């Protein structure tokens, strides 16, 4: 099994993701990234940050040890969001960055995300090269050629200054509840919103090393919904553990997902002449309601595989300005090289102020189609693409749904399962079609 997944390396900390592995990955990354990008006039530099998991402490120590032993100077920035690391790498001209986080995963997991010079995520070829160089013999530097570890106390303020520089509209008058998932955004998200002028109520903003994503954040919106309704807030904002996602709750307690946020921003940006080629990038999981709403607004949707790095690749390749995922990864290409939950929140709140409409009104630009996802587990994936029975069933389902629905079947990249996704005009129809297709997959591949 490949070491890197769709967003770095993840696993159970101290079991799958050990200090030894973290050190080895850091050494290999230092070698590959410095070599692939060419030598610099000075010693190579890296930015290293983490979310609030207790395991991040020993993993950070291992990553710093690996990088410095390879002759890289390391700037430790502490607990900051993943997009902050991407920004700081670009802003400081560093050669690479490492974020220690498992994002929205439960606390016992952790992960390693690596950024190259300029703050971009690694492409598949660089990840494969790093994996291929693990534990290889190498000539170790000694004496003054060994890297140094420096605590960077300016990083948080630099990131906040960058976020606030994207705000052109005073947010005074907006009452916002922000759920920080007891994660990496626990200080910077409330602070950024307050400095932008909003009245802020922060919840799940007291990380203790063990409570990250624990019944809070973008994967558990119940507490945020309750607080919005209780406080009479205009909007609730939810981040995940490393704050590269943004989801929302409107004043009536309704969910606002990433597709709806993108729809709001795409329409706004088109009206202001900021949406390049009147085109937005989504993924194969983008809701059919989003695609139809964009079509009705004269906006083309280009789809990519699931994963915000694939969205970014398409934005760069096609020179576009906006893309993202239903899960809340939204990329404003003119402002960032990665999904940034706090940046997304600020852009959404500005649109509320600019339009003088509630987020509930703005989100009505699209009608979300009911979506049912069934994971068919413990099946053989080898015959998936060639099974006549499966694809005949898919064709029949597509004919049945017509323009009022959509079918997507895909295999998992890490587990022996097939994902069956169906969208339709009602939950009943979507569930029935998805269940029928799941039975065919199980009969053919089980």
DSSP string for 407-418 = EEEEE-SSSSEE
Q: Determine which of 87-101, 222-236, 303-317 has the lowest per-residue pLDDT on average.
A: 303-317
Both 211 and 261 in one domain: the answer is yes
Specify whether 216 is located in the same domain as 350. yes
Together in a domain, 293 and 437: no
192 is written with which tokens?
Answer: 């950024």
pLDDT digits over 66-99, tens only?
999 999 999 999 999 999 999 999 999 999 999 9
Give the E-state strand segments of 206-260 in sequence order: 235-238, 247-250, 255-256
Per-residue pLDDT band at 306 (split at 50, 70, 90):
confident
- Is 58 a member of any domain? yes
**Is residue 160, in this structure, part of any structural domain at all?**
no
Query: Under DSSP, is residue 258 helix (H, G, I), strand (E, B) or coil?
Result: helix
Q: How far apart are CA 150 and CA 144, in angstroms?
A: 15
Lowest mean pLDDT among 166-175, 215-224, 372-381: 372-381
- E strands present in 168-242: 175-179, 199-203, 235-238
Residue 204: inside a domain? yes
Which pLDDT score is estimated for 414? Answer: 62
Same domain, 337 and 388: no
Same domain flag for 314 and 350 = yes
Q: How confident is the model at residue 216 (pLDDT cuts 50, 70, 90)?
A: very high
Question: What pLDDT does 5 receive?
Answer: 78
8 Å CB contact between 409 and 417 = no
B/e letters for 387-426, b = 16+ CB within 10 Å, e = fewer, are: beebeebbeebeeebeeebbbebebeeeeebbbbbbbbbe
Mean pLDDT, residues 238-248 = 97
Task: Say which CATH number the domain at 137 has.
Answer: 3.40.120.10
Question: Under a CB-based contact definition with an 8 Å cutoff, are residues 31 and 105 in contact?
Answer: no
Q: Tell me, what's the pLDDT at 380?
A: 84
Domain containing residue 408: CATH number: 3.30.310.50
**131 and 227 both lie in a single domain:** no
* C-alpha torsion sign, points 362, 367, 372, 373: negative
Q: Of 122-126, 233-237, 278-282, where does mean pLDDT reach its minimum?
A: 122-126
Find the catalytic residue in 55, 92, 101, 103. Answer: 103
- pLDDT on residue 413: 67
Structural domain includes residue 116? yes
Does residue 3 sit within a domain? no
Which of 150-159, 317-326, 405-414 is least confident? Answer: 405-414
Whether pLDDT at 211 is above 90: yes
In a domain, 15, yes or no: yes
Domain count, the chain: 3
- Is the per-residue pLDDT at 188 higher than 90? yes
Separation of first and last alpha carbons in the chain:
21
Q: Among 89, 122, 154, where does a domain finish?
A: 154
Helix pair angle (341-355, 258-271), 10° resolution = 50
Residues 61 and 140 in one domain: yes
Question: Per mean pLDDT, which range of 43-47, 117-121, 252-256, 424-428 is the poorest?
Answer: 117-121
What are the tens digits of pLDDT across the range 356-382?
Answer: 999 999 999 999 999 999 999 988 888
Establish if 159 belongs to a structural domain.
no
Which among 218, 174, 170 has a CA at the least distance from the CA of 342? Answer: 218
For 4-57, the pLDDT digits (tens) are: 876 789 999 999 999 999 999 999 999 998 776 665 557 899 999 999 999 999
The whole domain housing 356 covers: 166-363
Identify the weakest region by mean pLDDT among 230-234, 307-311, 367-371, 435-439.
307-311
Instruction: Sheet containing 300-304: give its strands across.
Output: 300-304, 279-283, 322-324, 330-332
- Whole-number pLDDT of residue 42: 74
What are 311-355's pLDDT values in tens digits? Answer: 999 999 999 999 999 999 999 999 998 999 999 999 999 999 999
Q: How far apart are CA 187 and CA 302, in angstroms?
A: 35
176 and 104 together in one domain: no
Q: Of 94, 86, 108, which Cα lies nearest the Cα of 8? A: 86
Q: Which of 347, 363, 379 is the last residue of a domain?
A: 363
Does residue 358 carry a catalytic annotation?
no
Domain boundary among 126, 154, 182: 154
DSSP reduced 3-state for 334: coil
239/334 same-domain check:
yes
Same domain, 330 and 206: yes
Whether residues 432 and 289 share a domain: the answer is no
Percentage with pLDDT > 90 across the chain: 86
Question: Average of pLDDT values for 247-272?
Answer: 98
Do 179 and 126 have their domain in common?
no
What phi, psi does 260 have (nearest 5°)?
A: -70, -40
What is the overall mean pLDDT for the chain?
94
Is 298 part of a structural domain of the chain? yes
């Amino acid at each position: 099994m490949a070491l890197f997944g769709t967003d770095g390396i993840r696993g159970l900390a101290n079991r799958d993701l050990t200090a030894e592995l973290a050190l080895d990955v850091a050494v290999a990354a230092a070698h590959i990234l410095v070599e692939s990008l060419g030598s610099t006039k000075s010693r190579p530099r890296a930015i290293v940050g983490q979310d609030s998991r207790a395991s991040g402490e020993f993993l950070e120590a291992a990553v710093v040890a690996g990088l410095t032993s390879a002759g890289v100077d390391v700037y430790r920035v502490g607990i900051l969001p993943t997009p902050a690391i991407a920004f700081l790498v670009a802003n400081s001209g560093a050669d690479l960055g490492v974020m220690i986080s498992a994002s929205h995963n439960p606390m016992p997991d952790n992960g390693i995300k690596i950024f190259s010079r300029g703050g971009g995520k690694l492409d598949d070829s660089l990840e494969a090269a790093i994996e291929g160089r693990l534990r290889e013999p190498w000539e170790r530097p000694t004496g003054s050629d060994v890297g140094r570890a420096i605590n960077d106390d300016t990083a948080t303020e630099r990131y906040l200054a960058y976020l606030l520089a994207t705000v052109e509209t005073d947010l005074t008058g907006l009452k916002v509840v922000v759920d920080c998932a007891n994660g990496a955004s626990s200080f910077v998200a409330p602070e950024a919103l307050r400095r932008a002028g909003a009245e802020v109520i922060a919840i799940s903003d007291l990380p203790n090393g063990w409570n990250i994503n624990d019944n809070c954040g973008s994967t558990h919106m119940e507490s945020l919904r309750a607080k919005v309704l209780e406080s009479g807030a205009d909007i609730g904002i939810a981040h995940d553990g490393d704050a590269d996602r943004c989801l929302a709750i409107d004043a009536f307690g309704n969910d606002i997902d990433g597709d709806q946020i993108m729809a709001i921003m795409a329409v706004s940006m088109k009206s202001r002449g900021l949406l390049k080629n009147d085109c937005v990038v989504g993924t194969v999981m983008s809701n059919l309601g989003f695609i139809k709403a964009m079509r009705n607004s004269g906006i083309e949707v280009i789809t990519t595989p699931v994963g915000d790095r694939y969205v970014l690749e398409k934005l760069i390749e096609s020179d576009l300005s906006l893309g993202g995922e239903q899960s809340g990864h939204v990329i404003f290409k003119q402002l960032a090289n990665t999904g940034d939950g706090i940046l997304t929140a600020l852009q959404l709140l500005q649109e509320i102020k600019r339009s003088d409409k509630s987020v509930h009104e703005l989100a009505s630009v699209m009608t979300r189609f009911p979506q049912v996802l069934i994971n068919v587990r413990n099946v053989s994936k080898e015959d998936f693409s060639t099974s006549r029975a499966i694809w005949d069933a898919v064709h029949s389902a597509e004919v049945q749904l017509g323009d009022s629905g959509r079918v997507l079947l895909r295999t998992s990249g890490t587990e022996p399962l097939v994902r069956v996704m169906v969208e339709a005009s009602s939950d009943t129809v979507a569930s029935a079609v998805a269940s029928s297709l799941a039975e065919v997959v199980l009969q053919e591949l089980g």
